[in-house]
């Protein structure tokens, strides 16, 4: 349901609002990595610890005949209805000089969303006043020791999104046209992926499915602030008596796109399996320390040590589930300017609509290094509690270096 209303006779102000509830149907891709990969359709070998030199032939001989090496899958029976509620409200105002400004609020809330688990077959902890404590690995047992891995889907995730959105645009006038948009928002959920729990590079593998409060945090794809502006200008031609001078000064067009955004979140983790979950993929959080300088866990501008490891500690005891929340560290943002210069050359002798356009395009003009998040080096401590020297090291960028290209485009 929606409405649009102009409170004045001039129609310079328009108020819009809308809301809706939408079913989210389960799709085949959500089951791609579960049902077809379970016994008896596929066979896998799982091993917790292998002696040195035992891979691959020794591992196969040791575990190939095991009756507990198969893989199972679980899909929630009769799940609750999965739906999303969306709403929005905006005010648009036409200003002088061909300007139009829009300010709006957009929100949504999803319930009973797909909750994809790569492996349910874990050791269950005990909830204590200090947090979740896991039993000794030597005597603990997974949920179903008859299988090496149990993957599947639940419909229990939830999500919420709220944002302030502003748009300013100018229609083509005197050769100038531009469009600017700014979004300040936050997306929160308990799991962002549907095909696999770690579909995103910053995704959390095998979270505590029995307590979603431990994984509720910023969505893997959340970008808190995003600003984009594009501008184009068609330069007026100089009026001269010379045909050559008129051609040389006409048809020029300048354009640019600038983007600035905050970074995506990620979670520092522990290496190995100090908790004793006996999972094949672990994602165990450290302890977050409270003190001066630890309000933020990132070192902006330091690609060699982006994570403030001094604000994180190995859990004590080692089988205590850490208190660091999901996606609590915000990665580096982006600042990028692309620039273009065009020369349009009509060729009426061929056709009235035929023209040759010379294009010079410059990507990342300022050659800024827009670093990626250190998702490849987010392990803070190894399984014994020893610090990892490469923790927080950034090894890639989100954008390329400065790129320049020239082209000739024929338009008809």
Q: pLDDT in tens for each of the 412 residues of the chain? A: 999 999 988 889 999 999 999 999 888 777 777 777 777 777 666 666 667 777 777 767 766 666 566 788 888 888 899 999 999 999 999 998 789 999 999 999 999 999 988 899 999 999 999 999 999 988 999 999 888 889 888 999 999 999 999 999 988 777 889 999 999 999 999 999 877 777 788 888 889 999 999 999 999 999 999 999 999 998 887 777 777 877 888 889 999 999 999 999 999 999 999 999 999 888 899 999 998 999 999 999 899 999 999 999 999 999 999 999 999 999 999 999 999 999 988 887 777 788 898 999 999 999 999 999 999 999 999 999 999 999 999 999 999 999 999 999 888 8
* Predicted pLDDT at 45: 64
Distance CA 194, CA 30 (A): 6
Q: Which of the 8 DSSP states describes residue 224?
A: S
Q: Which of the 8 DSSP states describes residue 118?
A: S
Instruction: Check whether the bond before 189 is cis (ω within 30° of 0).
Output: no
Structure tokens at 205: 């593998």
Determine contact, residues 316/130, Cβ cutoff 8 Å.
no
Element (H, E) at 234: strand 225-234
* Strands annotated E in 38-175: 71-75, 83-94, 99-117, 126-128, 131-133, 149-173
Let me know the angle formed at the C-alpha of 261 by 258 and 267, rounded to the nearest 5 degrees: 150
Measured in whole angstroms, the distance separating CA 229 from the mean position of its chain's CA atoms is 22
Determine contact, residues 388/379, Cβ cutoff 8 Å.
yes
* Predicted pLDDT at 285: 95
Q: Which of the 8 DSSP states describes residue 371?
A: B
* Predicted pLDDT at 38: 79
Distance CA 92, CA 16 (A): 8
Distance CA 258, CA 347 (A): 33
Q: Kindly give, in sequence order, each residue whose CB lies less than 8 Å from that of residue 70, ignoring residues fewer than 6 positions away.
A: 39, 43, 44, 147, 148
Let me know the angle formed at the C-alpha of 266 by 265 and 268, rounded to the nearest 5 degrees: 145
* Predicted pLDDT at 65: 62
Cα-only R_g, the chain: 28
């Amino acid at each position: 349901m929606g409405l649009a209303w102009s409170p004045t006779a001039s129609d310079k102000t328009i108020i819009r609002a809308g809301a809706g509830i939408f079913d989210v149907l389960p799709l085949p891709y959500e089951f791609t990595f579960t049902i077809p990969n379970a016994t008896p359709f596929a066979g896998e070998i799982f091993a917790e610890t292998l002696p040195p030199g035992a891979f691959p032939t020794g591992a196969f001989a040791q575990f190939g005949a095991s009756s507990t090496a198969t893989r199972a899958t679980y899909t929630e029976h009769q799940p609750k209805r999965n739906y999303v509620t969306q709403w929005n409200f905006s005010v648009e105002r036409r200003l002088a000089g061909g300007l139009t400004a829009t300010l709006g609020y957009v929100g949504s809330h999803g319930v009973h969303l797909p909750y994809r688990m790569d492996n349910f077959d874990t050791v269950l902890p005990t909830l204590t006043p200090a947090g979740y404590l896991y039993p000794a690995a030597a005597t603990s047992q997974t949920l179903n020791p008859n299988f090496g891995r149990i993957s599947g889907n639940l419909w229990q995730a939830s999500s919420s999104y709220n944002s302030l959105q502003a748009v300013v645009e100018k229609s083509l006038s005197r050769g100038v046209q531009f469009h600017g948009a700014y979004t300040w928002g936050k997306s929160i959920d308990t799991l962002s992926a549907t095909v696999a729990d770690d579909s995103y590079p910053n995704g959390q593998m095998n979270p505590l499915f029995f307590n979603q409060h431990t994984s509720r945090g910023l969505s893997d794809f959340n970008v808190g602030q995003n600003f984009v502006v594009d501008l184009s200008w068609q330069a007026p031609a100089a009026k001269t008596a010379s045909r050559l001078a008129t051609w040389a000064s006409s048809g020029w067009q300048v354009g640019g796109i600038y983007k600035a955004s905050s970074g995506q979140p990620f979670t520092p983790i522990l290496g190995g399996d100090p908790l004793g979950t006996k999972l094949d993929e672990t994602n165990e959080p450290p302890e977050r320390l409270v003190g001066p300088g630890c309000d933020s866990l990132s070192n902006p501008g330091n690609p060699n040590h982006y994570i403030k490891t001094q604000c994180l500690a190995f859990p004590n005891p080692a089988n205590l589930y850490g208190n660091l929340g999901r996606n609590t560290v915000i990665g580096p943002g982006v600042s990028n300017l692309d620039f273009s210069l065009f020369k349009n050359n009509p060729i009426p002798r061929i056709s009235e609509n035929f023209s040759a356009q010379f294009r010079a395009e410059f990507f990342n003009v300022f050659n800024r290094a827009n670093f990626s998040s250190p998702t490849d080096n987010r392990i803070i401590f190894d399984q014994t509690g020893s610090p990892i020297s490469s923790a927080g090291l950034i090894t890639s960028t989100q954008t390329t270096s400065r790129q320049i290209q020239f082209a000739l485009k024929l338009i008809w």
